[in-house]
Amino acid sequence: MSEGWQGQLQKIDDYRWMIPKSYASGMRVPGVIYADENLLASINRDKAPQQVANAAHLPGIVKYSLAMPDIHWGYGLPIGGVVATDVEEGGVITPGGVGYDINCGVRMIRTDLTEKEVIPKIDNLIHALFSNVPSGVGSKSDIKVSDAEEAKIMLKGARWAIDRGFGVKEDLDRTEESGCMEGADPSKVSDRAFERGSNQSGTLGSGNHFLEVQAVDEIFDDEAASVFGVNKGSITVMIHCGSRGFGHQICDEYSKGMVRTLAKYGISVPDRQLACAPVKSPEGQAYIAAMKCAANYAWNNRQCLMHKVRGVFEKVFGVGWKDLGMSLVWDVAHNIAKIEKYDIDGKVKQLCIHRKGATRAFGPDNPAVPQIYRRIGQPVIIPGDMGRNSYVLVGTKKAEEETFGSTCHGAGRLMSRKAAINAQGRYTLLRDLAAKGIKVMAAGKGTLAEEAPYAYKNVNEVVDVVHNAGISKRVCRMRPIGVIKG
């Protein structure tokens, strides 16, 4: 992909670019990419705009095929892609538009601790977190469950953990979908997926998943920050993970199965990785039921992880987690499909919204936003890389009108994992991070190089685009002081 994408792009404004329908025969709608000129250069090198155009061929797609500024090449739909299909007009669902790590997402915890209080204990804290939070390829949890209990996790999501004392009810109030999507059906999940999920609840995994201790270094919106309970100089904790091998298995099986359904429904797509089925078809409904199982599994996983994190902080600081003010700010899903209602050309329609590497960003007064945040809008958690900033944003009405209530999900890869490993040595990277005051521990030798800051776009530039485009607004910025990688 070194030669880059050579297709036509029309500039709408400084932060929006269009791929016209005329670019390729069969495109049902245009593509729209959110980016500035600097980010667009790397996006074109990655060829991800081709996947934006490919997605525009999906049956039932409405308005446009969207891409956020953190877009990069993915399986079928680009990571950072958003697609909406009309359920009542033959609209499809595609596993490639959700992704392999179903409900990969981020939750952020606020604390009453300050950076001055934590820095003297950061080495002990990071070592304790690394020892008590299973991470890395194939990591296994001390939370063992039978197949019957695993099925309950699929049905109850984060409530399964709460019922066992791994958190409090208020955590559910601060989790997207209250930590559970209704309509999950364990009978649509294979034995192999059950097997892969049986011992991974409460594990971080590998790749870009992380656990990060951060210090808030800038407040942009005093009112929203106050509602979220975040203060300048305070410590926050971010957990990034998903449904692990369980969700991966579901995506793999249904992606392959849907290739065989294309002819049945007379569907033609330019890339078999976009294999799909009508939402209302038996195949579409089966995938949705299995996807919801994985989504619920992921919310439970992050809830269990947060419980472990709270326990570590209690031991290191000798104070209960409630007294440390360790309440959940919000938990967002990144790789998921949901049925939502939108006004399309004056008519309210049921749409299947695919958000792959994209975050829901509902604005003020949206009934899907919990009452505690409804006045200002939904929190949007945007992690960066382990050497730069992360952000809390807030959703907007403009996002609901323009992007099906969606915004970016992170920095977005700039380099492949292989290229990143070849670019710089692990120990050089550790020295560079230490020089910035960032303590890092990783389970896998290659993970640090794969996830180096230079392998990612600058999250500050990505956030500038969505902020200036008005599809989410900056609330506060954090910087890492301690990181656990898988």
- Residues 261-270: tens digit of each pLDDT: 999 999 999 9
Cβ-contact 271, 94 below 8 angstroms:
no
Q: With bands split at pLDDT 50, 70 and 90, how would you rate the model's confidence at 470?
A: very high
Q: Which single residue is written with the structure tokens 């011992």?
A: 199
d(CA 210, CA 133): 11
**Which of 197-211, 263-277, 385-399, 453-467 has the lowest average pLDDT?**
197-211
pLDDT of residue 424: 66
Question: Is 5 a member of any domain?
Answer: no
Total domains present in the chain? 1
Q: In terms of C-beta density within 10 A (0-12 exposed, 13-18 middle, 19 or more buried), how is residue 477 classed?
A: buried
- Residues 130-163: tens digit of each pLDDT: 999 988 776 777 787 888 999 999 999 999 999 9
Q: Which residues are catalytic?
A: 409
Question: Is 96 a member of any domain?
Answer: yes
d(CA 373, CA 45): 39
Question: Is 305 a member of any domain?
Answer: yes
Question: Is 296 a member of any domain?
Answer: yes
Cβ-contact 399, 473 below 8 angstroms:
no
d(CA 200, CA 160): 14
Question: Is 3 a member of any domain?
Answer: no
pLDDT of residue 119: 97
Domain limits at 315?
Answer: 10-485
Can you tell me the mean pLDDT for 196-214? 87
Q: Nearest 5°: phi and psi at 255?
A: -60, -45
CB atoms within 10 A of CB 169: 9
From its phi and psi, is residue 417 left (phi > 0), alpha (psi between -120 and 50) or beta?
alpha
**Which of 88-97, 194-203, 211-220, 298-307 has the lowest average pLDDT?**
194-203
Question: Is 462 a member of any domain?
Answer: yes
pLDDT of residue 224: 98
Domain containing 23 — which CATH number?
Answer: 3.90.1860.10
Can you tell me the mean pLDDT for 302-315? 97
Question: Is 4 a member of any domain?
Answer: no
Question: Is 2 a member of any domain?
Answer: no
pTM of the full predicted structure?
A: 0.95
Say if strands 65-72 and 31-34 run parallel, antiparallel, or are unpaired: parallel
Task: With a cut of 60, say whether residue 1 has pLDDT above it.
Answer: no
pLDDT of residue 319: 97
Q: What single letter denotes the amino acid at residue 7?
A: G
What does the buried/exposed string (b/e) look like for 112-131 if buried means 16 or more CB atoms within 10 Å of the residue's CB?
ebebeebbeebeebbbbbbe
pLDDT of residue 324: 98
